[in-house]
Every structure is written in C-alpha cells, then in structure tokens.
Chain A
C-alpha cells in the first residue's frame, strides 16, 4: 500500500445486505456506471447520490449474501467506496471485492460506528481510526497474499505480474 488513504465518511447499514439490493438483476444489462447509480437504492434511495470517493461502507453481519454477481462489488468501487467494514461477509462477495482491489475487512466493532463518522483506515496494518469519536481499533489484517493482490491493484493485475515474471 502506498501510504494511509485519506479519511472518509461512514455510511452505515445493517445485517444481511444482499447482492440484489447492491446490484439489481433486472438492471444488469446497464453499463457498470449506470448500474452503480441503483446501488442500495431499494433500502436507501439517497445512497448512490450522496456517497463520495473515499467514503467507507460499514455494515453488520453477512454483507453481500446472495448472487455471485461481481457487479455488487464493482458498483461500490465505481462509487468510490474506499473499503467495506462489516462484522462478517458472504464468501463470494468478499473474494470479489478483494479481487477488484476493494478492501473488505472483518470489523467486529462495526456497530460502534455512526453514519457520518470520519474514518481513517489502513488495510495493511489493520488499523481503523474513528476521528469523530476519537477511537482506534486494530483488526486482524488480511492474509499476506491478499494484501499483495490488493497492492497490485487486484487479481488480474496481480496475475499479469505473475505471468510476466515480475512478482513473487
């Protein structure tokens, strides 16, 4: 990682945020950019319009359950979400996010974050700082091979380096 990213505002959601509300199946023919404007619309019609690059999505248990559709993670990335913090993740969403270079971090204290809190985080060290509440958390960092993948920009750039013999 190249330095600690700038702080972002927290957008807080509950448990069981599914891929149908992240990326509705009936709209999957839209371009990724157009689809992203519908992200989470079913439960928060203002989200896609309000979120800005660098903001952080905070949620409860089993974030991203449902379909394998990668557009769920793509939409969050297009909207500029810096990272997703949740108490637990559905497996396919979690892999998709990391494969796209979007950190998806298990954060047991996600419930202590309020909407609008300013969060600074460093995926490599597992440090999360709530600048609004003046609290710091240290979470289990991702496994080394996934941090390397995120640092490379995601799975495909990571593979590209491997095929070119420029990475370990």
Chain B
C-alpha cells in the first residue's frame, strides 16, 4: 500500500477518517455514507479457526490461490496449544496451508492475532484491513478501516483482493479531561456499551478528545477492539506521535509522517452523531451477565462473590493489563477458594512481563499462568466454567454459554477490577486497593 499526499488543487468533499480510508481503497476521490463501493484490501488475516480450514475448500472449488500472499497473514491462536487430536489437526492444517499457499507471515502459537500483528508492525495507518474475526476493529487504533468478516467473505477476499461495502456513517465520541487513577480504556468501553447499546451495525465509531489523545497504543487498542461489542463495523483513532513512536519501536516506522497525519476527519465533515463525555467523572465499570451492555458502576453492583477471575484475550491481557493486575496483586494473595487465571495475549507480552518482574508478582499472589491464545474467552481453551459458577473476566464478551456452561455467570471488568476481585473474593471497586504509598508496582 502506498499512501499518496492529498491533491489540494481541487476542492474535495469533507470526509471523516473512515471515509478517507475507504475512498482511497476504492480508488475514489471521495465517498459518501450509503454508497456501495468495492474496496481493494491492503491487508487480510485470519486465525486457525476461521482461516485455512474454511478457505481451502473454497479456494479449491474456485481453482485459485491467494491473490497476493504478501498481503495476507495467518495466526494460530484459537486451538492453541492442541488439547486433543481434533485441535492438533486444525493446527497442523494451518501450518500446511501457510506453506502450500505461500503465506510467509504465519504466526504459530505466539499469541492472539489482534496483538501479534501490531507487535510485528503489520498494521499500517490508512490501510483497509479485512480480518476473519469479529475483533478485527482493534487495528483501527492505528487509523485504519479494519472490519471483521465471516469465513466465506474472507475466502472471497483472499481469492480476489477486494470486497464490497456500503460506506458507513461515522459516530464520534470525545472524552475531555483525564481519567482518575484506576479507570482505564476498558471502563470507557463498558460505559459506552451502556450508553450507546450494542445495535450500531453499518456505522463506524471514531474516538478523540484529550483523554484519548493521552492514551498509549495498547489502551487505544481497547477502544478500537470493543467497537465490535457496540456493533460498529470499525473503530478508529487518528494516528499521531504516539502511533508513530509505537510503530518505530516495532522497527516499522511509517513511511511519511506528514501523510499519515492527514489521516484525520476534516473539520467540516459530517458525523451521524457526536457524543461528549467527561473522563474525570468516570468510575470503574462492571458488565453483569449475560451481555456487555448490562453495565453498572463497580461500587453500585452489590455483593457478588466469585469462583474465578480471568485475565485474558486480545482486549484484556496485553502487557499494560498485566501491569495493572500486578499493581493490585503486589504483596497480596488471591482469596481462598478463588482461582486467578492469567493467559497473556502474546509470547512477547509474557517475555516482557518476566523481565519486569510482573510474572513473579502474579505467581506469588497465587495466579495460574495459562498459554497465550484466545483460550476460555473463545470457549475453547483452559479456564471454562461449570454450571452456577461466577467469573469476573478482563475479556470483551459475556454472552450466555460463551465461557463454558450456559448457567455460568460472567462479569466483565478492567484488569484492575479482575485482580481486585481475585483478592477480595468478590467484585469490588479496585481504586481503594491502588492507593498504597510506598508499594512499588
């Protein structure tokens, strides 16, 4: 993908960031919401569950290979590590597919696709990205159009390099001020689930304001990731110095910062709506069973005792999330009768957490370390729940039956809230546990 400097010699229609990305991918000077266009895909990816085993029969039926293997990545993160012959076969097939179809960007059991791809600098500002997973919008934190697709759509995309879409309207959400200590991007998203509901299909969400500008990339990734929970097809943050520094740190700096900085909504663009919130007044948020919009302030929840606390998934087990957990767990123990499971989102996360002493803090508190992968969040890995059990989880979804038995109850919260619940044995506002002068995190 080559981003071209915008031609200013002729007046162009004012567009949102999302419209700009789509227009370029569609080879158009401008697009308007509601237009049906065909977009060229800059980057496509899938995982072991949604990719090779679904694509292969379709590609064979069509008699074609992958349109451009250099623009496709595969990440084995769902059935990892194999626990039986069936999951071993799925992983084996993914390896064979990557080899046969020439996909060199193949990441085998090193973490969850939505984190592994940015860790390798593969998410480029301005790109049109198609992913075979509903949390693909996480890449929108880098100023991309990134949407999730089912297996048939993805097979068609890797066969042709293009897909159709109806240009979405953009909703802008602005957060002014600064968040209190102990309030993080996960609380923002649970709050937005409550405010905006889950039924926002065929629209995009754009985040901005001083409190978003101040977030690091992993926190912005949480905003973009959970655009999926809100039902938006993509969620974006305009690229800035923080974006460029992150990409440079991965050894893949942007080609031209001035061009990338133009990836922002025009001042006179048209939004479907603009919502403004004050970051200073936001409290830690908890989603009750069985939907991410069943949300309340943590201190208004009432008494909920837990059996399990789970720190995992693309959204909730990045390095920053493990640091949050360690900040709470430093010098404390997991409550008797409670199990705290930690599945770091990538191998790089585990490595760095080990270097920083975070793993030691977690393990001394009584945490059980699990492999990196989608794990129990996808209902596949270790950490599933029995009937009647109660879990608080740093993941993004709590639909009935998602993490095990249909009669299990899953609450969602930030890594702070999950760690605090593990210590207290019940769900609590984590902030009192953070106010500890003299204890280094």
Contacts and interface: CB of A to CB of B under 8 A. Distances in A.
Interface of A: 16, 18-21, 24-26, 28-29, 41-43, 61-62, 65-70, 73, 88-96, 99-100, 143, 145, 154-156, 159-160, 163
Contacts of A65: 198-199, 231
Given A20-B400, A20-B401, A156-B61, 8 more contacts: A18-B399, A20-B397, A26-B379, A62-B201, A65-B198, A68-B136, A70-B151, A163-B64
Nearest to A70: B150
Contacts of A88: 199, 201
A25 B378 contact: yes
Q: Which of A43, A93, A95, A145 has the most CB of B within 10 A?
A: A95
B36 A94 contact: no
B314 to A, nearest CB: 13
B91 interface: no
Interface in B144-161: 147-153, 155-156, 159-160
A100 B402 contact: no
A14 B78 CA distance: 30
Contacts of A62: 198-199, 201, 231
A156 B156 CA distance: 7
A92 B150 contact: yes
B87 A29 contact: yes
A92 B133 CA distance: 10
Contacts of B308: none
A159 B49 CA distance: 23
20 contacts: A20-B379, A20-B397, A20-B402, A21-B401, A25-B379, A26-B379, A41-B406, A62-B199, A65-B199, A68-B50, A69-B150, A70-B50, A88-B201, A91-B147, A91-B201, A91-B202, A99-B152, A99-B153, A156-B152, A159-B62
B307 interface: no
A99 B150 CA distance: 9
B149 A95 contact: yes
A168 to B, nearest CB: 14
The 4 lowest CB-CB distance pairs between A and B, nearest first, are A25-B379, A96-B150, A62-B199, A70-B150
A26 B134 contact: no
B404 interface: yes
Contacts of B150: 68-70, 73, 92-93, 95-96, 99
A42 B90 CA distance: 27
Interface string B150-179: 111101100110001000000000000000
Contacts of A29: 86-87, 90
Contacts of B401: 20-21, 24, 26, 42
B156 A66 contact: no
Contacts of B50: 68-70
B291 A156 contact: no
B271 interface: no
Nearest to B201: A91
A26 B399 contact: no
A110 B405 CA distance: 31
A84 to B, nearest CB: 14
B58 interface: yes
Contacts of A26: 379-380, 384, 401, 404
Contacts of B155: 156
B400 A68 contact: no
Contacts of A94: 201
A90 B380 CA distance: 23
B291 A16 contact: yes
Contacts of A20: 379, 397, 399-402
B156 A159 contact: yes
A94 B147 CA distance: 14
B54 interface: yes
A145 to B, nearest CB: 7
B134 A25 contact: no
B86 A70 contact: no
Contacts of A24: 379, 401-402
B54 A160 contact: no
Interface string B62-89: 1110000000000000000000001100
